Chains A and B, each alone.
Chain A
Amino acid sequence: MALATPTQTKITVKCPKCGRVDEITLTSKIVSRAAKSAIGLATIMELHADHAIMIYVDKGGNVKSVRVYPLSHTIIEEKKNLIHVPISYLEKLERIDGFRVYIAQADITIEGFKEEVPSTKILLRGYEGETYVDLLPKEYEKPELKASWLKALSKAFASVGKKIPIACVWRSIATLDTVLDREAPLYANSIFEVLLLSRFLRIEVNDEELYLFKSYADSYMSRYPPQVTLDELLKHRGGMVFDLLEGKNPYTVYEYIELLLALRRRGVVSLVQQGE
Chain B
Amino acid sequence: MSSKASERVERAARAYLPVLRRKVLDLPSVYKRKYADRLKRALYLIDIIRGGGEKEETIEFKAFQYIAQRPERLLEVTTSDIGPLRLFSDALMHTEIAEQVVDDIVSASGDMKRVDSLFSGSGYESVRIAKEIGVGVRGVSEDVISLEMLVENAYRFRVKAEALQLSVERIPEVDNLIVLLSPYTWILSPEKILTIIAKRAKAPFRVVGLLPVRSGITEPSPLEPYLALVGVLKTLTSDKLKRLLDNLFSDATIDFKTLAPFAFFTVEIT
- Tell me the A residues contacting B by CB distance below 8 Å: 183, 185-187, 208-209, 211-213, 215-216, 219-220, 223-224, 258, 261-262, 265-268
Contact check, B62 vs A187: say whether CB atoms are below 8 A apart.
no
Q: A224-B156, A267-B87 are in contact. Are A186 and B151 (CB under 8 A)?
A: yes
- Which residues of the partner chain A approach B69 to less than 8 Å between Cβ atoms? 208
What DSSP secondary structure best describes chain B's contact surface? helix
Q: Nearest chain-B residue to A268 (Cβ)?
A: B87
8 Å CB contact of B148 from A186, A213, A224, A268: A186
B103: min CB distance to chain A, Å? 15
Q: Nearest chain-B residue to A183 (Cβ)?
A: B160
- Which residues of the partner chain A approach B91 to less than 8 Å between Cβ atoms? 212-213, 215-216
- Which residues of the partner chain B approach A261 to less than 8 Å between Cβ atoms? 148, 152
Interface residues of B in 173-221 (CB under 8 A from A): none
B258: min CB distance to chain A, Å? 27
Question: What's the Cα separation between A268 and B87 when bound, in Å?
Answer: 9
Q: A186-B163, A208-B66, A215-B62 are in contact. Are A266 and B86 (CB under 8 A)?
A: yes
Contact check, B152 vs A258: say whether CB atoms are below 8 A apart.
yes
Interface residues of B in 63-106 (CB under 8 A from A): 63, 65-66, 69, 84, 86-88, 90-91, 94
Q: A219-B94, A265-B145, A266-B90 are in contact. Are A212 and B62 (CB under 8 A)?
A: yes
Question: What's the Cα separation between A261 and B144 when bound, in Å?
Answer: 14
- Which residues of the partner chain B approach A211 to less than 8 Å between Cβ atoms? 62, 66
8 Å CB contact of B63 from A183, A212, A265: A212
B40: min CB distance to chain A, Å? 27
Question: What's the Cα separation between A261 and B163 when bound, in Å?
Answer: 17
- Tell me the B residues contacting A by CB distance below 8 Å: 58-59, 62-63, 65-66, 69, 84, 86-88, 90-91, 94, 122, 145, 147-149, 151-152, 155-157, 160, 163
Q: A213-B87, A265-B86, A266-B87 are in contact. Are A187 and B94 (CB under 8 A)?
A: no
Q: Which has the most chain A C-beta neighbours within 10 Å: B65, B84, B151, B152?
A: B152
A23: min CB distance to chain B, Å? 40
A51: min CB distance to chain B, Å? 35
Question: What's the Cα separation between A262 and B149 when bound, in Å?
Answer: 7
- Which residues of the partner chain A approach B87 to less than 8 Å between Cβ atoms? 209, 212-213, 266-268
Q: A186-B163, A209-B66, A213-B91 are in contact. Are A265 and B59 (CB under 8 A)?
A: no
Question: What's the Cα separation between A224 and B153 when bound, in Å?
Answer: 11
- Which residues of the partner chain B approach A186 to less than 8 Å between Cβ atoms? 147-148, 151, 163
Q: Nearest chain-A residue to B65 (Cβ)?
A: A212
Q: A209-B87, A223-B157, A267-B84 are in contact. Are A215 and B58 (CB under 8 A)?
A: yes
A212: min CB distance to chain B, Å? 5
Contact check, A220 vs B151: say whether CB atoms are below 8 A apart.
no
B54: min CB distance to chain A, Å? 17
Contact check, A265 vs B148: say whether CB atoms are below 8 A apart.
yes
B90: min CB distance to chain A, Å? 6
Contact check, A185 vs B86: say whether CB atoms are below 8 A apart.
no
8 Å CB contact of B155 from A185, A212, A219, A220: A185
B68: min CB distance to chain A, Å? 11
8 Å CB contact of A187 from B151, B156, B157: B151
B56: min CB distance to chain A, Å? 11
B225: min CB distance to chain A, Å? 19
Q: Nearest chain-A residue to B150 (Cβ)?
A: A186
Q: Nearest chain-B residue to A264 (Cβ)?
A: B145
A109: min CB distance to chain B, Å? 32
Contact check, A215 vs B149: say whether CB atoms are below 8 A apart.
no
- Which residues of the partner chain B approach A267 to less than 8 Å between Cβ atoms? 84, 86-87
Contact check, A187 vs B63: say whether CB atoms are below 8 A apart.
no
- Which residues of the partner chain A approach B149 to less than 8 Å between Cβ atoms? 262, 265-266
Q: Nearest chain-A residue to B64 (Cβ)?
A: A212
Question: What's the Cα separation between A262 and B155 when bound, in Å?
Answer: 12
